[in-house]
């Protein structure tokens, strides 16, 4: 399953979803996670949590930008998954996004793993 969202000429975000057995949902965000783009994927992922897909792995490898609304979306997903007995894990987090997560102390809340280092 793949979803594409766009709210303007420069705002673009794709969400690719893969549902796995046992309530695991793998999702990849591609593009810009901002005030203009965060609402549709948040609603889609919150619906998935309500359906019982409470273990979320969110791959941010191809995320080029994240603003405070994007961070808010991640916190809301973390809280919703946790309240439903699950969790949210961020993987392949780009350095610039990981710096923002750490600068806002959200690394104390979010399970965020940076991109693997290349040899």
Q: How far apart are CA 67 and CA 80, in angstroms?
A: 20
- Domain-embedded: residue 17: yes
Please state, for a pLDDT cut of 70, what percent of the chain lies above it. 87
- Domain-embedded: residue 119: no
Q: How many domains does the chain have?
A: 1
- Mind listing the pLDDT tens digit for each residue in 50-97? 999 999 999 999 999 999 999 999 999 999 999 999 999 999 999 999
| Domain span at 66 | 2-114
What pTM was computed for the model?
Answer: 0.86
Q: How far apart are CA 30 and CA 107, in angstroms?
A: 21
Integer-rounded Cα radius of gyration of the chain: 13
Please state, for a pLDDT cut of 90, what percent of the chain lies above it. 76
CATH code of 53's domain? 3.30.750.24
Query: Among the residues of the chain, which ranges form H helices?
Result: 39-50, 68-83, 95-103
Nearest Cα residue to 75 out of 30, 33, 31, 116: 33
């Amino acid at each position: 399953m793949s979803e594409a969202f766009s709210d303007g000429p420069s705002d673009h975000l794709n969400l690719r979803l893969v549902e796995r057995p046992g309530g695991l949902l793998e999702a990849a965000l591609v593009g810009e996670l901002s005030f203009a783009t965060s609402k549709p994927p948040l609603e889609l992922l919150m619906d998935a949590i309500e359906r019982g897909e409470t273990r979320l792995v969110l791959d941010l490898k191809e995320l080029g930008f994240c603003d405070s609304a994007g961070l808010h979306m991640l916190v809301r997903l973390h809280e919703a998954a946790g309240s439903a007995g699950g969790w949210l894990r961020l993987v392949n987090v780009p350095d610039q996004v990981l710096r923002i997560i750490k600068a806002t102390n959200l690394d104390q809340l979010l399970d965020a793993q940076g991109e693997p280092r290349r040899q």
